[in-house]
Amino acid sequence: MEIPEPKSNFIREIIDADLASGKFGGRVHTRFPPEPNGYLHIGHAKSICLNSGLARDYKGKFNLRFDDTNPSKEEQEYVDSIVEDVKWLGGDFEDRILFASDYFQAMYDWAMKLVKDGKAYVCDLTPEEMRRHRGTPSEPGKDSPFRSRSIEENAALFERMRKGELPDGSCVLRAKIDMAHPNLTMRDPVMYRILHADHHRQGKAWCIYPMYDWAHGLEDSIERVTHSICTLEFENHRPLYDWFLDALGIYHPQQIEFARLNLSNTVLSKRKLLELVRDNHVSGWDDPRMPTISGLRRRGYTASSIRAFCADIGVARFNSIVDIWVLENAIRNELNRTAPRFMAVLRPLKIVIDNYPQDQVEEMEAVNNPGDPEAGTRKVPFSRELYIEQDDFKEVPPPKFFRMTPGQEVRLRSAYIVRCGSVVKDAAGNVTEVHCTYDPATRGGDAPDGRKIKGTIHWVSAAHAFPARVRLYDALFTKRDPDDVEEGHDYKENMNPGSLEVIDSAYCEPALKDAAAGTRVQFERLGYFFADPKDSGPGAPVFNRTVTLKDTWAKIAQKKPSAK
Ligand code: ATP
Ligand code: MG
């Protein structure tokens, strides 16, 4: 497994200091705690690479823990996909796939302990009343009238909540902290609510469910996590995380916050990604346009390129938007080294070489990867009738057009130098066929007299090429920040109508027939492509373009008026 060199960051500095002071007995134990209510995305990858990377580098441990405390939204499909994605990224949780729901009894017992210590109470206020009692950042809140219930009454009521004797919404368990606390999170937060709902693992065993702030520190404590790393939104919640653990007097991990990843021209909110899938704006969670791990994988990203991206962006304490080309560069850099080259023509134009013998076929020798001599060469059949890219021919050339145009010589990659003669047009005046002559002395593509040929284009032999479906992708959203919309408008209005282009029959050189599902190749001059694992059949690959050869974002930003 290719592992990027770790960069120093503020979290490593905290861990180094803890190791030096012996704070956790020299241990490092991290976790990744997803809620199984959607597929993982590239933001989660940042957290997985960070947490599992720390465990690896400090010879510690890394847990995969499902934060499945919310019964209504969680599904097994999500659990399975998350396990697959974390493994694929190289997050090594060994045998530790853990579930917060397995700790429900311990959590209940601890809550009862707080009740008995006078640190928690059952409150019957409605959510609306509770909101009104809560106050604002500038005004203190008001005590609930139920705050003065006796310990005995609270214990009895909490037990009735747990036994299912009270209906949904009739009351909650709250921590008794301080309704005037300057931090609103500390104003008697809710610990449990009643919900008569089936849980994906616990079935009907529970009808009270713990709130995130109450549960999360307990989960970390039970697993003896040392550094509980979360995103910046939880900074305000850290005093509460600490309060619960201190009130119980149990093992106390250190919460550390870092900036979440935001990526340009896409959305990383589970709710929005779910909406895109549910309402068929994309073909599924693994649509290659999605910023999900499964979408990126199907687009052709490798796990190592995502790890390299995460290492490259680093970890900081301020929020920002990372440009999507930074992610694209990570896979481009890798494929530039590793992907063998082939020729394919996306939008074919027929070429006839008038002076080439009618039935002759030559096997031209083509280099598989100029950057890697060990990748060797392959044979590409050449014959009298070829296809080239429509774009590579212009009857009336613009200035500095070095490709095919009447009267001009151009090099056919790994084959011959040809000179364009006449064209054939249909009734509408479109060029349907171009006639050329070739110079037999230029086999391989070079002129023995040393004359300069500025343009080189790719081609396939018409009789030997096979048609394949090719899918080209562009950003899912035209706007850098899709959420930047006027009031009353929706992020979906920023979707890019041209994010997917399907070419039903691109012509591919015969060697590509053997590209098994999951193969990564470069189509010369067109980009890096991936044989789709779901849609490719034996001898019938379907290619997804992973990324173009060069960064095209500078151009796109100018072209699209909506891009900022
Ligand atoms: P929600 O809680 O709204 O369902 P979420 O994106 O926070 O959505 P979780 O399943 O709770 O989803 O996330 C699991 C972990 O991934 C959390 O520890 C969270 O900090 C981290 N995480 C989520 N989104 C990002 C992001 N964009 N960048 C970095 N880390 C993230
Ligand atoms: Mg979350």
Please give the mean pLDDT across all residues of the chain.
95
SS percent in the chain: helix, strand, coil, step 5: 30, 25, 45
How far is the centre of ligand 1, averaged over its atoms, from the C-alpha of 453 (Å)? Answer: 54
**Active-site hit among 12, 23, 27, 35:** 35
Q: Is the separation of the CB atoms in 154 and 144 below 8 Å? A: no
Burial (CB count <10 Å: 0-12, 13-18, 19+), residue 309:
buried
Cα 424 to Cα 420: distance, rounded to the nearest angstrom: 12
Question: Where does the pLDDT of residue 431 fall: very low under 50, low under 70, confident under 90, or very high at 90 and above?
Answer: very high
Q: Is the separation of the CB atoms in 134 and 120 below 8 Å? A: no
Q: Is the separation of the CB atoms in 415 and 366 below 8 Å? A: no
Please give the pLDDT value at position 563: 37
Q: Give the position, in ligand 1's atom list, of the atom nearest the Cα of 37.
A: 4
How far is the centre of ligand 1, averaged over its atoms, from the C-alpha of 279 (Å)? Answer: 23
Please give the pLDDT value at position 369: 93
Spell out the domains of the chain, with CATH numbers in brackets. 104-211 (3.90.800.10), 261-341+466-564 (2.40.240.10), 344-458 (2.40.240.10)
How far is the centre of ligand 2, averaged over its atoms, from the C-alpha of 233 (Å)? Answer: 10
- Residue to probe by mutation, ligand 1, list 231, 267, 268, 292, most atoms within 8 Å of CB: 231
Closest ligand to C-alpha of residue 267 is 1
Residues 119-151 have pLDDT tens digits of: 999 999 999 999 999 999 999 999 999 999 999
Provide φ and ψ at 116, rounded to 5°. Answer: -70, -25
Q: In the chain, pLDDT over 90 holds for what percent of residues?
A: 94
44 ligand 1 Cβ < 6 A: yes
The first and second tokens of residue 356, run together, are: 């080439």
267 ligand 1 Cβ < 6 A: no
Question: Where does the pLDDT of residue 560 fall: very low under 50, low under 70, confident under 90, or very high at 90 and above?
Answer: very low
Tell me: pLDDT of 101 over 50: yes
Active site residue 128: no
How far is the centre of ligand 1, averaged over its atoms, from the C-alpha of 43 (Å)? Answer: 7
Please give the pLDDT value at position 371: 85
Please give the pLDDT value at position 561: 40
Q: Is the separation of the CB atoms in 61 and 94 below 8 Å? A: yes
Which whole-number Å values give the CA distances from 42 to 69, 310, 322, 343, 400, in the listed order?
23, 9, 11, 31, 41
Q: Is the separation of the CB atoms in 367 and 444 below 8 Å? A: no
**H-helix or E-strand containing 224?**
none
Residues 386-400 have pLDDT tens digits of: 999 999 999 999 999
Query: What global pTM score does this model have?
Result: 0.94
Residues 262-317 have pLDDT tens digits of: 999 999 999 999 999 999 999 999 999 999 999 999 999 999 999 999 999 999 99
Please give the pLDDT value at position 550: 86
Please give the pLDDT value at position 72: 73
Closest ligand to C-alpha of residue 85 is 1
Active site residue 159: no
Contacts of 31 (CB under 8 A, 6+ apart): 51, 62, 63, 64, 65, 220, 223, 225, 228
Residues 460-493 have pLDDT tens digits of: 999 999 999 999 999 999 999 999 999 999 999 9
Please give the pLDDT value at position 7: 85
Active site residue 270: yes
Please give the pLDDT value at position 551: 65
Q: Is the separation of the CB atoms in 26 and 16 below 8 Å? A: no
Residues 322-381 have pLDDT tens digits of: 999 999 999 999 999 999 999 999 999 999 999 999 999 999 999 999 888 899 999 999
Please give the pLDDT value at position 555: 47
Question: Where does the pLDDT of residue 511 fall: very low under 50, low under 70, confident under 90, or very high at 90 and above?
Answer: very high
37 ligand 1 Cβ < 6 A: yes
- Residue to probe by mutation, ligand 1, list 9, 46, 47, most atoms within 8 Å of CB: 47
